[in-house]
Each structure stands twice: as C-alpha cells, then as structure tokens.
C-alpha cells in the first residue's frame, strides 16, 4: 500500500492529483468520484458579473487547444448561494480560484471568499492588471509582490499563487510570490498564442489571441517547474499538458509536489482518476512507500569542465 498523502501549502490532500481551474465543474461528478481527488479547484471567480470574451472562444491546435474564455463569472452572490453549498457535501478540500483587475480588488475578494468550507485560495495573478496597462500581475516581480502581500494581509487561508509562463525568469517571479506570503506555487497558466484561419483570413479566436494549453506546452512547463522547485522552499504544483500518469510523474520527479490536470478532461473526463491510479502503480512497481518520495527525485549529473569543452569534429 502506497501512502499517497501530500501537504500543499498548509492543506492536507489525500493524493497529489487535482483539476486545473477552468476545466472542472460540478457536472463532472457524473463521470468522476470527487472524493477520490486530492482537491477540487473550481473555475476562477470574480466579484462582478462577467460575460466573457467574444466568440469563438476555443479552437484546437496540433497537440493543444487555444482558449480565450475571458473568465465569465456569475459574481459573489452566486458563489455564496450556489457554488459553495454544491461542493460542501464533499470531504475533498475545496480550492477557490480568484481573479481581480487591481491589487485592492484581489485583496478584498480574497477576504470575502475566506469562508468555512474553503481550504485554500488559488490567486490567478496571471490575469491582466489594469493598474499596469493590462500586463499580468505575474509578469513582473514588483506587481507579484504587491498583489500577494496585499492578499496575505486580508486572509489567513493558504494562498496558492498561479504563475504566468509568459516571462523570462519564472523562478524569479516564484521567489517574489514566496517572499510576499504565498504558501505554494502553481506552475503555470497558459501560453499567450494565436491561430489564423487561412481561408477566412481571420483569427480563429474572437479576441484574436488566447492561451495555449495541452501536451504541446508540457516540456516547457516541466522545465519551469524544475526551476521553481529549486528556487523556493514552498511546494510547487505542476500544471500544463498532463494527460497521463507518466506526464504527472515527470512533473513530480522534476520537483512538483502535486499536479493539476486540465485540457485532457475535455476529451477524457475520467483522466484524473487514470492519472492517480497510474502514479500509484508506478510507486508500487518502483518500490516507493510514499508518493512524496517521487518529489524532486530526478537524477541530474553535473557536467565537468572537460565535458563542456568544444571539440573540433575534424580533429
């Protein structure tokens, strides 16, 4: 029997597998037993009502998907009256993803969702910051620090900071989030991308650009997860292109303490359970008693100076 329990930023989970925000809803309970998940991460909410972006909002790409949903939200009254009671019947920890266009908006919303039944708050700092001409909070060290610190002052709940991959040095952003009070990092959100319909000669998304997710991004985000896990002392949750247990194990070996499964759920609704079972099978096969023994177990040999010398192939 493998001990599958993990602790992520102050939240004890029965196992390291959970959904990625935006790919999980209560209707999925018809295909998945929510009690088997490590956590339930719900779609990002905002204080105000939001209708979302112009259609079309989603298109397929080779080995991935582009989306520009625009965070449609029914607002806080709906969250209080409908969403929270819906998930309260499950023992699985509930993680609430939040978004706001300003630092003060983030902080006040975090305080408002700090309610009984909420285990942690995932702060979607990859969203546009209206105080910085629409640049995502997580694109810069200073705005990351300001946002996380302001939120930290307004809630005692564990904070999971969801980072943007659209940066030069994601580890630097991760360190800033940790210093400001984040309890865990989610690495990472989608990559800014674009697709064109050559027959209509128009963008394939109504908002022109969107976020790329799916298997195509996995090797890049595994690298980012590895870099962040080496840079911070808080847990890292790997998120990006996970479709199989092998994908999830790759993330964990690179340093992720847990994983979020997203895009594949649209194709295979039971993918999270398959990933969970596959991780446990791998641990049994490799003789691991605890799933946490996988975390950061990657074997990396450092090259010495001789190995790194340039060699003339004609010599």
Give the residue numbers annotated as catalytic, written as ranges. Answer: 127
- Integer Cα distance of 309 and 304 in angstroms: 9
Secondary structure in 3-state letters for 75-117: HHHHHHHHHHHHHHCCCCCEEEEECCCCHHHHHHHHHHCCCCC
Helix (H) or strand (E) holding 231: helix 218-231
Phi–psi pair at 283, nearest 5 degrees = -60, -40
- Integer Cα distance of 52 and 140 in angstroms: 25
Contacts of 296 (CB under 8 A, 6+ apart): 229, 253, 254, 255
- Integer Cα distance of 132 and 67 in angstroms: 23
Instruction: Provide the residue count of the chain.
Output: 315
């Amino acid at each position: 029997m493998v001990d599958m329990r993990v602790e992520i930023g102050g939240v004890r989970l029965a196992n390291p597998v959970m959904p990625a925000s935006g790919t999980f809803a209560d209707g999925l309970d018809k295909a998945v037993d929510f009690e088997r998940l490590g956590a339930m991460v719900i779609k990002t909410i905002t204080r105000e009502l939001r209708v979302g972006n112009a259609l079309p909002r989603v298109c397929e790409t080779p080995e991935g998907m582009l989306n520009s949903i625009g965070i449609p939200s029914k607002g806080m009254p709906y969250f209080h009256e409908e969403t929270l009671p819906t998930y309260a019947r499950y023992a699985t920890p509930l993680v609430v993803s939040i978004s706001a266009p300003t630092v003060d908006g983030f902080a006040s919303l975090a305080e408002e969702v700090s309610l009984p039944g909420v285990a942690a708050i995932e702060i979607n700092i990859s969203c546009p910051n209206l105080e910085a001409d629409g640049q995502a909070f997580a694109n810069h060290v200073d705005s990351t620090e300001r946002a996380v610190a302001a939120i930290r002052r307004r809630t005692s709940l564990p904070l999971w900071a969801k980072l943007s991959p659209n940066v030069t040095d994601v580890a630097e952003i991760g360190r800033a989030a940790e210093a400001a009070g984040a309890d865990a990092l989610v690495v990472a959100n989608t990559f800014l991308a674009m697709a064109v319909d050559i027959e209509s000669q128009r963008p394939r998304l109504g908002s022109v650009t969107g976020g790329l997710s799916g298997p195509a991004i996995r090797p890049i985000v595994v690298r980012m997860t590895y870099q962040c896990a080496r840079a911070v002392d808080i847990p890292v949750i790997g998120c990006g292109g996970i479709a199989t247990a092998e994908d999830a194990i790759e993330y964990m070996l690179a340093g992720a303490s847990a994983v979020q499964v997203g895009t594949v759920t649209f194709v295979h609704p039971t993918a999270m359970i398959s990933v969970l079972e596959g991780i446990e099978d791998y641990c049994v096969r490799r003789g691991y008693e605890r799933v946490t023994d996988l975390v950061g177990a990657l074997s990396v040999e450092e090259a010495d100076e001789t190995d790194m010398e340039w060699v003339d192939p004609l010599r």
